C-alpha cells in the first residue's frame, strides 16, 4: 500500500544524511512538501535540491539551517518555514549524534561510562534529548492552535539503550522516549498526536564506524527501512492514533485501525 501525502508539510530534523534523508526522500516521493534540515544551510539546500529533482520532482523541498541545540537557530528556521509554507503539519524529530561522537571504535572497543568525556556526554544529550524537546516546544503550539498536527520521534531498540559501552547514546535516547510518552499525554484532546518510530536494528549510516568489517556491515539495515512507516505515520491513515511505538523492520501497512498503542 502507499500514501498520497500531497499538501502535507513535513519538517524532518537531521535530514541531510542517513535515515533522515531516507525519510525525507520517501515523503517527497509520496507527494509531501518536506523541509530538509541540518546545521549547514548550504548542505541542507543541496540535499533538498537533489531529493526534489529525483522521482519526487514537482513536489516542494526546502533546505533550512537548523541546529536543534540552539533556540535562536530553531526560531530562525521556523520563521523561514512559516514564511515559505505557513508552518508544518508534521514534525519528525530525528537529528542525533551517535556513539562514535565519543568513541569512534564503540563496536570493537566499548568503553566504560567513566571514560566518557563530560563534554561529549553533554553534546550527545543536548542533541538527542534536549534537541527533541526544544524543536517540539517551538513547533507544537501552532499545531495545538490549529487543532491538528503530528509529532514523530525517532528512537531505538530498548536493548540498545542499556547496552554495555553505550553511554551517553543509550540514556539520551531512553530519555527522549520517556519525553515522547509525556508529550503524548500532555497533548491528549488537542488533536496533536505523538508517536515513536525506530529502525529495529543497527542501520548503515554515518554513525557506524568506518572500519567495520564486511560481514557485520552487510548485516546493517538500509536507511530505506524507515520509508513505509514514516509515510503511514504522516498520512491520513494514522490520524487520531497516538502513543504508538513502531518498529520499521516489523511494519506492515495496517488495514483500517488494526495498529494499537504500545
| pLDDT tens-place values along the chain, 262 residues long | 568 999 999 999 999 999 999 999 999 999 999 999 999 999 999 999 999 886 655 569 999 999 999 999 999 999 999 999 999 999 999 999 988 888 888 777 889 999 999 999 999 999 999 999 999 999 999 999 999 999 999 999 999 999 999 999 999 999 999 999 999 999 999 999 999 999 988 866 666 555 655 566 567 889 999 999 999 999 999 999 999 999 999 999 886 544 444 4
Question: HSE (CB half, 13 Å, CA atoms) of 37?
Answer: 25
Q: What is the predicted pLDDT for the residue at 106?
A: 76
- Percent of residues in the chain assigned helix, strand, coil, to nearest 5: 45, 15, 40
CATH assignment, 9-250: 3.40.50.720
Catalytic residues: 169
Angle between helices 18-29 and 227-234 (to 10 degrees): 60
CA distance 155 to 196: 7
Q: What is the predicted pLDDT for the residue at 53?
A: 83
In 3D, which of 64, 41, 61, 65 has the Cα closest to residue 53? 61
3-class SS of residue 164:
coil
In b/e form, how buried is each residue of 210-240, taking b as 16+ CB within 10 angstroms? eebeeeeeeeebebebbbbbbbbbbbebbee
Spell out the domain ranges in the chain: 9-250
CA distance 255 to 253: 7
219's CB contacts (< 8 A; 6+ apart) are 202
3-class SS of residue 225:
helix
Q: What is the predicted pLDDT for the residue at 208?
A: 59
0.85 surpassed by pTM: yes
Count of beta carbons in the 10 Å neighbourhood of residue 172? 25
In 3D, which of 32, 40, 37 has the Cα closest to residue 13? 37
CA distance 147 to 190: 6
Instruction: Supply the DSSP string of 124-141, one letter for each residue.
Output: HHIIIIIHHHHHHHHHHH
The vertex-21 CA angle with 94 and 122, nearest 5°, equals: 35
3-class SS of residue 150:
strand
C-alpha cell at 77: 528556521
Q: What is the predicted pLDDT for the residue at 261?
A: 40
C-alpha cell at 189: 484532546
Q: What is the predicted pLDDT for the residue at 114?
A: 96
Amino acid at each position: 500500500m502507499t500514501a498520497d501525502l500531497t499538501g502535507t508539510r513535513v519538517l524532518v530534523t537531521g535530514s541531510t544524511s542517513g535515515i533522515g534523508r531516507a525519510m525525507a526522500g520517501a515523503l517527497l516521493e509520496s507527494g509531501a512538501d518536506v523541509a530538509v534540515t541540518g546545521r549547514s544551510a548550504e548542505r541542507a539546500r543541496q540535499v533538498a535540491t537533489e531529493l526534489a529533482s529525483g522521482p519526487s520532482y514537482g513536489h516542494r523541498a526546502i533546505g533550512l539551517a537548523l541546529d536543534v541545540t540552539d533556540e535562536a537557530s530553531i526560531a530562525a528556521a521556523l520563521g523561514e518555514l512559516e514564511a515559505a509554507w505557513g508552518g508544518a503539519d508534521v514534525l519528525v524529530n530525528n537529528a542525533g549524534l551517535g556513539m562514535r561522537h565519543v568513541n569512534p571504535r564503540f563496536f570493537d572497543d566499548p568503553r566504560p561510562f567513566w571514560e566518557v568525556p563530560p563534554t561529549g556526554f553533554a553534546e550527545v544529550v543536548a542533541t538527542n534529548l534536549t534537541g527533541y524537546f526544544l524543536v517540539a516546544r517551538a513547533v507544537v503550539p501552532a499545531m495545538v492552535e490549529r487543532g491538528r498536527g503530528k509529532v514523530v520521534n525517532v528512537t531505538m531498540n530498548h536493548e540498545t539503550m542499556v547496552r554495555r559501552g553505550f553511554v551517553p547514546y543509550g540514556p539520551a535516547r531512553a530519555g527522549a522516549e520517556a519525553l515522547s510518552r509525556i508529550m503524548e499525554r500532555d497533548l491528549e484532546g488537542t488533536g496533536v498526536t505523538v508517536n515513536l518510530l525506530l529502525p529495529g536494528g543497527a542501520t548503515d549510516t554515518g554513525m557506524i564506524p568506518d572500519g567495520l568489517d564486511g560481514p557485520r556491515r552487510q548485516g546493517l539495515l538500509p536507511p530505506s527501512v524507515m520509508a513505509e512507516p514514516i509515510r503511514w505515520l504522516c498520512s491520513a491513515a494514522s490520524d487520531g492514533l497516538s502513543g504508538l511505538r513502531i518498529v520499521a523492520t516489523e511494519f506492515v501497512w495496517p488495514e483500517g485501525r488494526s495498529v494499537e498503542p504500545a
